Amino acid sequence: LYASPSTSQIHDLLLDLCRCRHFILGKELTMASVLGGCHSLGPLGIEMKKNIISEWWNMVALNREQVLPIQTLLRWPPQPELVPQPLLRMCPDNKYESSSRVGPVTVPDKHQGQHIVLRQDLLQGALSHYIACLELVNRKLPFGISEVGTCFHTTQDGPDNNLHHTRTGERTAASLCWFSSAKTTTVWHDYWLRHRLLWWRRFAHIPSGFSSSEHQDTEGAKTFVINYDFPWGKEPVETLCMMDDSVLAQVHPGADTKLHGREGRKSVVPHLVWLNCDLDRGLLVYLSDALSLRGKEPRRAVLKIHPSLAPMKVAVDLGKGPAVDLRLVCQGLLSEMRGSGISVWPGYLDTVQTPMEQLFTKYDEMGIMFTVLVSDVTLESGLLQLRNRDTTIKETLHISKLRSFLTQYISAANKL
| 268 near a second copy (CB under 8 A) | no
With respect to a second copy, which residue has the nearer C-beta, 139 or 202?
139
| 170 near a second copy (CB under 8 A) | yes
Scanning 106-114, 200-208, 267-275, 316-324 for contacts with a second copy by CB under 8 A, the matching segment is 106-114
User: Looking at this protein, which amino acid is placed at residue 85?
Assistant: Q
Distance CA 125, CA 150 (A): 12
At 329 the three-state DSSP class reads helix
Distance CA 331, CA 354 (A): 20
Q: How many residues bind a second copy (CB under 8 A)?
A: 61
| 346 near a second copy (CB under 8 A) | yes
Scanning 55-63, 232-240, 244-252, 376-384 for contacts with a second copy by CB under 8 A, the matching segment is 55-63
With respect to a second copy, which residue has the nearer C-beta, 193 or 337?
337
Contacts of residue 233, Cβ cutoff 8 Å, sequence gap at least 6: none
Please choose, from the candidates 380, 379, 386, 416, the residue with its C-alpha nearest in 3D space to the C-alpha of residue 401.
386
Scanning 70-78, 183-191, 301-309, 386-394 for contacts with a second copy by CB under 8 A, the matching segment is 70-78
At 352 the three-state DSSP class reads coil
Please choose, from the candidates 121, 97, 128, the residue with its C-alpha nearest in 3D space to the C-alpha of residue 170.
121
Q: Which of residues 348-387 bind a second copy (CB under 8 A)?
A: 349-352
Residue 285: count other Cβ atoms within 10 Å of its Cβ. 23
| 38 near a second copy (CB under 8 A) | yes
Query: Please, what is the minimum distance in Å from the beta carbon of residue 146 to a second copy?
Result: 9
| 168 near a second copy (CB under 8 A) | yes
Please choose, from the candidates 98, 333, 38, 111, the residue with its C-alpha nearest in 3D space to the C-alpha of residue 232.
98
With respect to a second copy, which residue has the nearer C-beta, 29 or 397?
29
Please choose, from the candidates 259, 229, 235, 276, the residue with its C-alpha nearest in 3D space to the C-alpha of residue 60.
276
With respect to a second copy, which residue has the nearer C-beta, 69 or 231?
69
| 137 near a second copy (CB under 8 A) | yes
Q: Are 172 and 279 in contact (CB under 8 A)?
A: yes
With respect to a second copy, which residue has the nearer C-beta, 138 or 213?
138
| 165 near a second copy (CB under 8 A) | yes
| 262 near a second copy (CB under 8 A) | yes
| 125 near a second copy (CB under 8 A) | yes
| 42 near a second copy (CB under 8 A) | yes
Phi, psi of 92 (to 5 degrees): -80, 30
Distance CA 72, CA 237 (A): 22
Phi, psi of 131 (to 5 degrees): -65, -45
Query: Please, what is the minimum distance in Å from the beta carbon of residue 92 to a second copy?
Result: 23
Query: Please, what is the minimum distance in Å from the beta carbon of residue 168 to a second copy?
Result: 6
The string over 38-71, giving b where at least 16 C-beta atoms fall within 10 Å of a residue's C-beta and e elsewhere, is: bbebbebbebbbebbbebbeebbbeeeebbbebe
| 150 near a second copy (CB under 8 A) | yes
Q: Are 59 and 176 in contact (CB under 8 A)?
A: no
With respect to a second copy, which residue has the nearer C-beta, 124 or 378?
124
Q: Work out which of 1, 25, 59, 379 binds a second copy, going by CB under 8 A.
A: 25
Distance CA 104, CA 392 (A): 47
Q: Interface mask (CB under 8 A) for a second copy, residues 386-415, using x and -?
A: ------------------------------
> Which chain residues interact with a second copy by CB under 8 A?
22, 25, 38-43, 45-47, 49, 61-63, 65-66, 68-75, 78, 107-112, 114, 116, 125, 129, 132-133, 135-138, 140, 150, 152, 154, 165-168, 170, 262, 334-335, 338-339, 346, 349-352
